[in-house]
């Protein structure tokens, strides 16, 4: 991931990185290791669904709730809580298969037209706002306004709402069945899906008696189990286990998320010193790094590297820890090794570029520009990469390129006005009609979203 997940949003990618946006802090997490694993989980499913994996962007949300959803036909969101609570790869794969069923079924066709051109940051803001409103309504915290809204939903509006929710429940059932088809086509068990629904059923056991099944958007967990159980149990792949290599990577992923997202004391209780598994050592190393015990953290990470010398993410973690402890020059060597082992990771290249810039040695600037340029070409939404590139260009005397990189950083954050200011500056510095001038012109042609004016 990018690194230090914790509560604060870091300005660097590395192991775990929550991302920032113009409107504030959005709970997005970037992590090279986890994203690579999720791609390996999803690609066979996408192929079975007839979906081009290169067209689907999967985003990790920093929420401990078990949830996943698609916002349009090309963006899928998964809460990290889903990954942390899933005991097997098969459970996560079942979730991905369900969401792929929504995409392949065109269940979001109407929303797709509106959302296709919307920035991811804006989509998440909208969805989080809707989720907050729904939570307030569910908890009864809506107050008088909430009661008024409930009253307004009566009559014809209530009938329309029930009709819409019934349609949504039909889509959910269709996605469940499509998921089973994808799992069958890829020779995988549907047991994980059943296990997930049974968890939901256990959580809802006390509240479901009071829930009207006609005013929820998803079928009740018990109904979903009844629909799928016979299909799953009859599958020739029901008892097929996950490959050991995927299980090992899955355990490392869960340990990493625990190390970054839970309090260090919780990490040490969950993974005590008596647990000598590689995942337990990973979680403890991260927890020590987060508590600023850098010497112990590096010692632990070196032990991990000795166990798996070709694991790029252990080298990445060491580089991240050294960089954030104020030792950028020391971080360069392990980060170079991480890039050698994972050359296609834009996030790791950006982290290496940041270390080269932070070293303060101008002899590294050319190398930094090379790695950062490659990094942002693979990760165009990584604003930190563009900002580091702007710094490297500025220190190299390439002011036009620096202004353009700053414009791209602001654009990646959704700050269109500031992006245009920097693009205007870049155009003044570039020769008219040059590639840089034209790229700045593309930013200047972007339409800013309309904002509703407040009425007095």
pLDDT at 171: 73
Residues 82, 189: one domain? Answer: yes
pLDDT at position 431 is 96
Residue 242's pLDDT is 96
Q: Tell me how many domains the chain contains.
A: 2
Judged against a pLDDT cut of 60, whether residue 277 lies above it is answered with yes
Question: Per mean pLDDT, which range of 116-130, 201-215, 231-245 is the poorest?
Answer: 201-215
Which residue has better confidence, 169 or 154? 169
427 contacts 444 by C-beta, under 8 angstroms: yes
C-beta neighbour count of 223 within 10 angstroms: 16
Model pLDDT, residue 10? 28
**50 and 188 co-located in one domain:** yes
Indicate whether 87 and 169 sit together in one domain. yes
User: Domain for residue 25, yes or no?
Assistant: no
| Residue 104 included in any domain | yes
Considering the domain architecture, whether residues 205 and 303 belong to the same structural domain is answered as: no
* 221 and 268 co-located in one domain: no
| 286, 309, 332 - which closes a domain | 309
> Higher model confidence: residue 259 or residue 20?
259
Is 375 inside a domain boundary?
no
pLDDT value, residue 55 = 79
Stronger pLDDT, 54 or 36, i.e. the higher one: 36
Evaluate if residue 140 carries a pLDDT over 50. no
| Mean pLDDT, rounded, of the chain | 81
| 168 and 299 housed in the same domain | no
Least confident of 15-29, 91-105, 349-363: 15-29
367 inside domain: no
CA–chain centroid gap for 303, Å, is: 29
Q: Is the pLDDT of residue 15 over 50?
A: no
Region 227-252 average pLDDT: 93
**Is 222 in the same domain as 266?**
no
What average pLDDT does this structure show over 50-71? 86
The residue among 250 and 21 whose pLDDT is bigger is: 250
**165-215: pLDDT as tens digits:** 344 556 778 888 899 999 999 999 999 988 988 886 655 433 333 334 333
Tell me, yes or no, whether 101 lies in a domain.
yes
Residue 353 placed within a domain: no
pLDDT at 205 (0 to 100): 38
In what order do the strands lie in the sheet containing 68-70?
Answer: 17-21, 24-30, 57-61, 75-79, 68-70
Residue 392 clears pLDDT 50, i.e. is over it: yes
Indicate whether 232 and 101 sit together in one domain.
yes
Structure confidence by residue, pLDDT tens digits, 412-432: 998 999 999 999 999 999 999
User: Is the same domain home to 197 and 268?
Assistant: no
Q: Which residues span the domain enclosing 51?
A: 31-130+163-244
Q: Answer yes or no: do 293 and 190 share one domain.
A: no
Confidence (pLDDT) at 394: 98
Tell me: do 235 and 302 sit in the same domain. Answer: no
CA distance 103 to 49: 9
Query: Does 146 have pLDDT greater than 70?
Result: no
Give domain status of residue 22, yes or no: no
| CATH number of domain containing 197 | 3.30.2010.10
Q: What is the pLDDT of residue 226?
A: 77
- Name the residue with higher pLDDT: 449 or 191: 191
User: Where does a domain end: 193, 217, 244?
Assistant: 244
Q: Which of 18-22, 155-159, 198-202 has the lowest mean pLDDT?
A: 18-22
At 129, is the pLDDT very low, low, confident or very high (cuts 50, 70, 90)? low
User: Helix/strand/coil (H, E, C) string of 129-191?
Assistant: HHHHHHHHHHHCCCHHHHHHHHHHCCCHHHHHHHHHHHHHHHHHHHHHHHHHHHHHHCCCCCH
Residue 339 within a domain: no
> pLDDT confidence of 219, banded at 50, 70, 90?
low
Q: Where is pLDDT greater, at 108 or 213?
A: 108
The residue from 187, 212, 244 where one domain ends is 244
Average of pLDDT values for 278-301?
Answer: 96
For the ranges 18-22, 103-107, 110-114, 234-238, the lowest mean pLDDT is seen at: 18-22
Kindly state whether residues 203 and 71 are assigned to the same domain.
Answer: yes
Task: Give the residue-averaged pLDDT of 121-134.
Answer: 56
């Amino acid at each position: 991931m990018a690194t230090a997940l914790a509560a604060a949003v870091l300005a660097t990618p590395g192991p775990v990185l929550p991302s920032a946006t113009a409107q504030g802090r959005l709970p997005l997490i970037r992590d090279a290791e986890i994203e690579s694993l999720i791609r390996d989980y999803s690609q066979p499913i996408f192929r079975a669904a007839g979906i081009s994996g290169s067209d689907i962007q999967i985003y990790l949300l920093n929420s401990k709730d078990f949830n996943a959803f698609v916002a349009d036909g090309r963006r899928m969101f998964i809460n990290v809580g889903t990954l942390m609570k899933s005991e097997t790869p098969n459970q996560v794969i079942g979730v991905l298969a369900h969401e792929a069923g929504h995409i392949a079924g065109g269940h979001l066709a109407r929303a797709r037209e509106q959302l296709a051109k919307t920035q991811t940051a804006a989509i998440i803001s909208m969805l989080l706002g809707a989720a907050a409103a729904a939570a307030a309504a569910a908890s009864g915290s809506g107050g008088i306004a909430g009661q008024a809204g409930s009253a307004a939903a009566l009559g014809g509006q209530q009938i329309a709402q029930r009709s819409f929710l019934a349609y949504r429940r039909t889509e959910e059932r269709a996605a469940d069945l499509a998921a089973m088809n994808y799992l069958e086509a890829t020779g995988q068990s549907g047991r994980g899906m059943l296990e997930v629904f049974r968890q939901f059923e256990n959580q809802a056991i006390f509240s479901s008696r009071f829930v009207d099944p006609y005013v929820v958007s998803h079928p009740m967990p018990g109904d979903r189990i009844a629909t799928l159980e016979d299909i799953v149990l009859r599958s020739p792949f029901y008892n097929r286990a996950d490959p050991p290599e995927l299980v090992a990577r899955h355990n490392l992923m869960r340990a990493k998320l625990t190390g970054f997202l839970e309090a260090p004391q919780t990490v040490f209780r969950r993974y005590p010193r008596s647990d000598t598994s590689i995942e337990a050592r990973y979680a403890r190393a991260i927890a020590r790094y987060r508590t600023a015990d850098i010497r112990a953290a590096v010692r632990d990470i070196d032990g991990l590297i000795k166990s798996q010398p070709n694991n790029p993410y252990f080298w990445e973690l060491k580089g991240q820890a050294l960089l954030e402890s104020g030792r950028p020059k020391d971080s360069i060597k392990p980060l170079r090794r991480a890039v050698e082992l994972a050359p296609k990771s834009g996030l790791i290249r950006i982290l290496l570029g940041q270390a080269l810039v932070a070293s303060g040695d101008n002899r590294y600037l050319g190398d930094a520009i090379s790695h950062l340029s490659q990094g942002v070409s693979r990760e165009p939404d990584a604003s930190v990469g563009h900002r580091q590139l702007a710094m490297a260009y500025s220190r190299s005397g390439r002011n036009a390129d620096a202004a353009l990189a700053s414009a791209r950083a602001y654009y990646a954050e959704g700050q269109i006005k500031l992006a245009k200011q920097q693009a205007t500056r870049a155009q003044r510095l570039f020769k008219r009609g040059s590639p840089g001038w034209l790229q700045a012109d593309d930013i200047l042609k972007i339409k800013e979203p309309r904002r509703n004016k407040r009425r007095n």
